[in-house]
Structure 1
């Protein structure tokens, strides 16, 4: 199951983010803003609890989020989405998965993993700007399942049809939210039209 945020406010920011003339500072701000929109949509079904609240006028009932969330950015580009997620979910725990792409095969090479142990019904949210071949995202979810996480979601900025198709075949139970679904992958496994290397643009290492 996948959701593409086809909204004017999101599309506006995606267009600015794609522009090669956009400097790293603005690029990071756009990533944060788009991630916030993604989080808003992806978290509509989080568990809540009702609590009594005393306003200055009367007693009422409030609804608080009652969810144990673990945010899992894929290093390094996923770190660019982390601040926005923590702004929305300040109580969340954070785990990281490090993966390097084999430039010949485009398959991920895991090199680091530090994720809080699953204890029950935690919700793990994997964040990574690009879903290109789907290799890193699929591997990340597989690692989380092996660690005992039963509830997983995946948020990204831009998806390629090839990566989305692979992800849905390997993990049909994991919902995906994207800000844009692009045309295709090129011969170098980059998303077209895409936005270039998200990690380089976030960290200014072009």
Structure 2
């Protein structure tokens, strides 16, 4: 599995803001938006482009645009924080949604929403989720995408744990990973260490709905 770790100094500075327990919800959202845009930028590096003529105020120049913009699929709820930055970089991208909650006792994903195109064959899909911890949620989402024909999937995650990276590598699924860092451990509650806490709670406040 191809793994791209974006270690640019500006990416690392935003990651530091996200890790800092003193960062409030507004600051967390702003840093996540900045870092999310940087990761989408990197994830898009090898997307196919088409050329066309564009008229400047002086003459005609070579223009470029994406041949087939990817489909952006957030794993909600935390993945919603990456939609706006993704669309700021690729405004003509389509958007699908996968809803997964976490069972706090088993640490397993609990699906509650699937809104995707019926056929994803031949399409580039960006699966966005701030956290890759055990890999359970992302693997569940990947299997939903593959079941619809997706065979070119990029997982875009702010922070990844080694356990989650290993789970993706061992899955045999058609996925590559773009992330800012691979943290070494998970704690007994399956949170990434050192991590940044619960991304959904830090984006939107504590969840008070049982799913």
CA distance in 2 between counterparts of 1:198 and 1:60 reads 43
Matches within 5 A, 1:47-126: 47-118=48-119, 120-126=121-127
Preserved CA contact (<8 Å) 1:102 1:109: yes
Give the SS at the match of 1:175.
Answer: strand
1:21 maps to 22
Q: Please, what TM-score do these two structures have when normalized by structure 1?
A: 0.96
2:135 maps to 134
CA distance in 2 between counterparts of 1:133 and 1:159 reads 9
How far apart are residue 100 of structure 1 and its match? 1.4
Give the SS at the match of 1:159.
Answer: strand
2:202 maps to 201
How far apart are residue 194 of structure 1 and its match? 0.5
Once superposed, what is the RMSD of the aligned Cα atoms?
A: 1.3
Preserved CA contact (<8 Å) 1:94 1:116: no
1:148 maps to 149
Give the SS at the match of 1:133.
Answer: coil
Q: Deviations over 1:119-144 (max 9, x none)?
A: 54221110001000000111111100
1:157 maps to 158
How far apart are residue 172 of structure 1 and its match? 5.1
Preserved CA contact (<8 Å) 1:48 1:63: yes
Q: Please, what TM-score do these two structures have when normalized by structure 2?
A: 0.93
1:182 maps onto 2:195 in alignment:
no
The alpha-carbon distance between structure 1 residues 39 and 119, as it changes in their structure 2 partners (threshold 3 A), is closer
